[in-house]
Amino acid sequence: MTRRLFLAASCLAFIGAWLVPVAALGSGFFHPEVGARSIARAGATVVGDNDLTSFYVNIANLANVHGTNLFFQCAYDFFHTYYRREPYQSASYNINPMDEIQFAGISSDFGLEHWTFGAAVYGPYGVTNRWKPTGPARYNLIEANSLQIYYSLGAAWSPADWIRIGASASLVNFKLDNYYAFSVLKDRNAKFDAIGEMVAWTNFVPSWGAGIVVAPIPHWFEIGFSYLPSFDVVVVGRVSATLPKLYAAILGTEVYQDKMRIPLHYPPMYKGGIRFLDGDQFDIEFDAAYIPWTMLPYYDVRFEKGQIIKNFKYPLQWQNTWNYRLGGSYRINQHWELSAGYAFEQSATPPKLAGTEATRHFIAGGFRMSYFGMDFDLGYTHIFQDDVETPIPPPSFASVLDDGRGRYKSSYDVFIGAVNFNIERMYKAFHNGQAPW
């Protein structure tokens, strides 16, 4: 009975810890937005985006990208987290590396007056959360590596200066690799910890997106909306636990492994915004996004062997989220543009289920420099996150599994740079010896 209870508790701990990054993916924890200009405006670009990151924000704004363009971008993410074990024993900081997240895209209007076509490869999420293997946070997490990549094709149509319409088709791939420690006898001695691993991934999943921007008063007032539909995906994973020899002798096994499948129904994402402009010199935008996470009420976990741990449904108790972003830009002249913004984002995970997932506030700024047909964007955001206490486990598991209770304090920094090469403008600039706008 003890062996069965330990293995079941270990597996539930795997799943429970996995909720942190998966919930985070939904509510934007790993990366607030994609795009240097978007980051500089705290994500307020649903209506006013004007580069290839519109693939992620609102594909309708691909219509703002004229000519033939090559776009490259890299984001550098820094996650700062402090964990204090409760009842107080010790505390530590995470030892995260610097994470790089790339974006590459190409677009062209092929000389057409009203159409723009493009392709992009990008990763809105790709971050590492790492702690010392013997530190006080090990019973919640030792290391989590996540990666999500989009391969997208898109087109936008602007038949008049008061409307833009766009659509995209994508293939999405996701992988997560987590490591945890368990203290079965609650001795909290690291040399007697059991080490668990959970690896989860998906095959390429098809998705699509659509957007529209309408300008009731062109060059003064615009309204925009974008939509990502719900979709079904099957996450395939592997769970394993390696036990110290003492525990292995007691429980009768040294390594436990099994494969699992988790069918998921992801909710849709709705984004909308309004934008006020003063010609081409100044604009300010307010955006809101809504994600109905209650459409995913539980994880239906199915095991391949199912001999010791049976299939079960893990309740999520997630909440629907609203996110708000306010940002703007000021164009000093034809070469320089400054941007700034603020955003608020709800956590999809209620506090009683949270790990390092929290309600967040963003402050951001950046600039664009344009010369010789090339646009250089730099953006920065600092994310303040509310403190989070890890939940108390159910009594049946608390008797055999260390609960890892404690408090997280965390913040997040993103530095991002991008360059866009407009082939036609570059040719004219260097051919004529000048830099036309």
Residue 121 lies in a domain: yes
Name the more confident of 19 and 271: 271
Domain that residue 339 falls in: 2-432
Of the listed ranges 66-75, 169-178, 233-242, the one predicted with least confidence = 233-242
C-alpha distance from residue 209 to each of 99, 123, 240 (Å): 27, 16, 37
Residue 30 has pLDDT above 90, yes or no: no
Task: Answer whether 357's CB lies under 8 Å from 300's CB.
Answer: no
Residue pointed to by tokens 């108390």: 392
Name the more confident of 22 and 326: 326
Assigned token pair, 298: 């539980």
Residue 348 has pLDDT above 90, yes or no: no
pLDDT tens-place string over residues 172-208: 888 888 888 877 655 567 777 778 888 888 888 899 9
Name the more confident of 436 and 316: 316
Give the pLDDT band of residue 433 (cuts 50, 70, 90).
Answer: low
Euclidean distance between CA atoms 14 and 10, whole angstroms: 6
Beta strands in 332-422 (DSSP E): 336-345, 360-371, 374-385, 388-389, 406-422
| Residues 6 or more apart in contact with residue 87 via CB below 8 angstroms | 405
Instruction: State the pLDDT at residue 254.
Output: 77
Give the pLDDT band of residue 245 (cuts 50, 70, 90).
Answer: confident
Query: How large is the average pLDDT for residues 331-351?
Result: 90
Q: Which of 359, 280, 374 is nearest to 321 (CA)?
A: 359
Query: How large is the average pLDDT for residues 22-28?
Result: 38
Residue 387 identity? D
Residue pointed to by tokens 């079965």: 184
What is the phi/psi pair of residue 139, to 5°? Answer: -80, -10
Instruction: State the pLDDT at residue 240.
Output: 80
pLDDT tens-place string over residues 270-327: 999 999 999 889 999 999 999 998 888 888 888 887 666 678 787 777 889 899 999 9
Residue 107 has pLDDT above 60, yes or no: yes
Q: What is the mean pLDDT of the chain?
A: 83
Assigned token pair, 266: 């992801």
Residue 257 has pLDDT above 90, yes or no: no
Residue 251 has pLDDT above 70, yes or no: no
Secondary structure class of 237 (helix, strand, coil): strand
pLDDT tens-place string over residues 143-176: 888 788 899 999 999 999 999 999 999 998 888 8
| Residues 6 or more apart in contact with residue 45 via CB below 8 angstroms | 33, 35, 37, 38, 53, 54, 57, 58, 61, 285, 287, 327
Euclidean distance between CA atoms 414 and 379, whole angstroms: 8
Assigned token pair, 162: 């008061």
Contacts for 120-123: CB closer than 8 Å, 24+ residues apart: 120/52, 120/55, 120/71, 120/150, 120/152, 120/154, 121/149, 121/150, 121/151, 121/152, 122/34, 122/53, 122/55, 122/56, 122/73, 122/149, 122/150, 122/152, 123/147, 123/148, 123/149, 123/150
Using left for φ > 0, alpha for ψ between -120 and 50, and beta otherwise, residue 43 falls in left
Residue 355 has pLDDT above 60, yes or no: no
Secondary structure class of 35 (helix, strand, coil): coil
Residue 19 lies in a domain: yes
What is the phi/psi pair of residue 414, to 5°? Answer: -130, 125
Euclidean distance between CA atoms 151 and 120, whole angstroms: 6
Overall number of domains in the chain = 1
Residue 383 lies in a domain: yes
Instruction: State the pLDDT at residue 416.
Output: 95
pLDDT tens-place string over residues 366-425: 999 999 999 999 999 999 988 887 766 656 555 555 667 788 888 889 999 999 999 999
Question: Where residue 168 sits, what CATH number does that domain have?
Answer: 2.40.160.60
Instruction: State the pLDDT at residue 21.
Output: 40
- Which one-letter DSSP state was computed for residue 434? S
| Residues 6 or more apart in contact with residue 116 via CB below 8 angstroms | 62, 63, 65, 66, 107, 108, 109, 155, 156, 158
Residue 437 lies in a domain: no
Query: How large is the average pLDDT for residues 58-70?
Result: 97
Cα of first residue to Cα of last residue in the chain, in angstroms, is 74
Query: How large is the average pLDDT for residues 425-430?
Result: 88
Residue 346 has pLDDT above 50, yes or no: yes
Instruction: State the pLDDT at residue 13.
Output: 52
Find out whether the peptide bond into 315 is cis, omega within 30 degrees of 0: no
